[in-house]
Amino acid sequence: MKLPVYLDNHATTRLDPRVLEAMLPYLTEAYGNAASNSHGLGWAAQQAVETARAQVAQLIGATAKEIVLTSGATESNNLALKGAVEAARLAQPGRSVHIITQATEHKAVLDPCAWLDKQGCRVTVLPVSREGLIDPEELRRELDGEPALLVSIMAANNEVGTLQPVEEIGALCRERGVLFHSDAAQAAGKARLDVGRAKIDLLSISGHKIYGPKGVGALYARRGVKVAEQMHGGGHERGMRSGTLNVAGIVGLGAACALAAAEMEEEAARLTALRERLLRMLTARLERVRVNGADVSGNRRLPGNLSVTFEGVDSESLMMGIKDVAVSSGSACTSASIQASHVLRALGLSEDDAHSTLRIGIGRFNTEEEIDFAAERIVDVVPQLRELSPAWAEMT
């Protein structure tokens, strides 16, 4: 077993060797520019891109022409949100724009929404339950109040793994002619998503969350949905996203999507079993351990996700004590901050409990041996830290 044991698969995933194999020719031999149509190398690159585009589309039930290739989910989210607002204002100058999102979104949605708020949009942020779920009835009331242009609700949360009821949300939005965007960076390839059935208009994907390369992703934009280009310089990608395409990365994204589509059910069952094994070991030997988010016995949680609060233990100290196990205390994109996770706080955790929480992300390459090792390390270190903790002394 190689150390450290990597259990931070929500932050990023290891590149699948099969994906790397698919990419290599486009880094060495087939190095043409996909926009060059005057010679064979350019044609080969263009064909590879279109094959990958179709693989991405197949994973989510879209058509290849509805896939806009980007640098990742952050760009896709910005393009969807800002692009939809700009397109609406270009079509109807001076129109009032209302956007609805929810409190546990990734910063790649919340920050663009905050920026749009400063540009004169009205942004409504819905609360969530202890499980991290929005209340569809509350969304219905908002939609029946002030007209909205767009609703942005993530398919799966990046910290607690909660799967939102996207089909119910999509139906509410479509009935009212409101665009529905979903950040699916965590859900795509891990949970079944069908953009047609869920009535999703815009959906964001990132390659490095599904065992593909970093720096590449996609935006699904339903045919007929207007999105204004945010990066200008050549009118690539149906005029929505300019820039020379990262052919090797796109090939890797496509290969990762194809593998996920073929292996999703089997992989989900295996990861769920590993998660249950880890949780059993922790709860059997440690007291006052609590799981955050949706009930692990249900189907509202990503298979490999476990968000665990160890009462009376500082999570940063715990991570220092288990350096041979790679986990995180919150979203990787906010890990430089000492503030409590906005996701955990939105679920109702106290600041102390939020600072006592680990995010564990089990992935494709983890084994039972690694899960057992991680459990042993945590079970060994937590009591040591509690002995030194004034907060734990007060609890007990």
> What is the full DSSP assignment across 362-396?
--TT--HHHHHHHHHHHHHHHHHHHHT-HHHHHH-
| Nearest of 225, 149, 155 to residue 192 by alpha carbon | 155
Written as six digits, the tokens of 312 are 């009376």
Alpha helical stretches, state H, the chain = 17-23, 25-28, 40-60, 73-91, 107-118, 136-144, 166-175, 236-239, 247-285, 315-321, 342-346, 351-354, 368-387, 390-395
Active-site residue flag, 333: yes
Supply φ then ψ for residue 280, to 5 degrees.
-60, -45
Cβ(36)–Cβ(42) below 8 Å: yes
Please identify which residue in the block is written with the tokens 């663009």.
112
Residue 295's CB: how many other CB atoms inside 10 A?
10
User: Of 113, 121, 173, 333, which residue is the catalytic one?
Assistant: 333
Q: Are strands 98-102 and 5-6 parallel, antiparallel or unpaired?
A: unpaired
Q: Which active-site residues does the annotation give?
A: 333
